Homo-oligomer: A and B are copies of this chain.
Amino acid sequence: MASYNVAPLSKLIEQFERLPGIGSKTAQRLAYFVLNMPKEQATEFSTAILDAHEKIRYCEVCCNFSEGELCPVCKSSTRDKSVICVVETPRDAIALENTHEYDGVYHVLHGAISPLNGIGPDQLYIKQLLSRLSDDTVKEIIMATNPTVEGEATAMYISRLLKPMGIKVTRLAYGIPVGGDLEYADEVTLARALEGRNEL
């Protein structure tokens, strides 16, 4: 299909096709849209891609994305440094930030243990987490990995490393999602919700 397109357009379509969830029709639509943008907007787009790659690195403490040595959360004096919330990805940290309920700091693992995909503990930023525990500042580690087999395994693995160090390790609560419908909740979630029921 792309054969009839002029080469620079085909290339742009290909680039969009590489993105997750973008099929060939959508890639075509996006490429045409970009082509019809005013020149300066296209330049901005192009620059944003390069900038993201060049200016973003990992925070030296929590391994989250950062522009400087330290990310805004680690740099902040108002955040509680005694609680570390361990997440798989920077996006998970953003999701937690959006609750406006958490004032501790984060640690980003950049993945989860997944033997099937060849990802072991060494590929994750676990060593960096352990090095943050050398003094007595940290009192609690909240394991906020995903509620998947991989996330679960990662949480278990890390909690076993930390327990002997005498640090409190907690896990996000399982239960029915707010606004959800009991009827549509899967049995495992429902069982966990029952198990973790709270007194009113």
Contacts and interface: CB of A to CB of B under 8 A. Distances in A.
A90 to B, nearest CB: 7
A45 B12 CA distance: 7
Interface stretch (A29-37, A116-124, A165-173, A188-196): A29-37
A48 B8 contact: yes
Contacts of A73: 4
B8 A34 contact: no
Interface of A (DSSP majority class): helix
A31 B94 CA distance: 14
Contact of A7 (B22, B43, B67): B67
Interface in A64-79: 65-67, 71-73
Give this chain's copy count. Answer: 2
A94 B29 contact: no
A52 B16 CA distance: 13
Given A49-B46, A72-B4, A65 B34 contact: no
B49 A12 contact: yes
Contacts of A31: 52
A42 interface: yes
Contacts of A89: 32
A136 B94 CA distance: 66
A53 B200 CA distance: 62
Contact of A52 (B8, B18, B67): B8
B11 A48 contact: yes
Interface in A10-67: 11-12, 14-15, 18-22, 26, 28-35, 37, 39, 41-56, 65-67
Given A4-B93, A32-B91, A49-B49, 9 more contacts: A1-B94, A6-B55, A8-B52, A8-B56, A11-B48, A20-B30, A22-B30, A28-B94, A42-B52
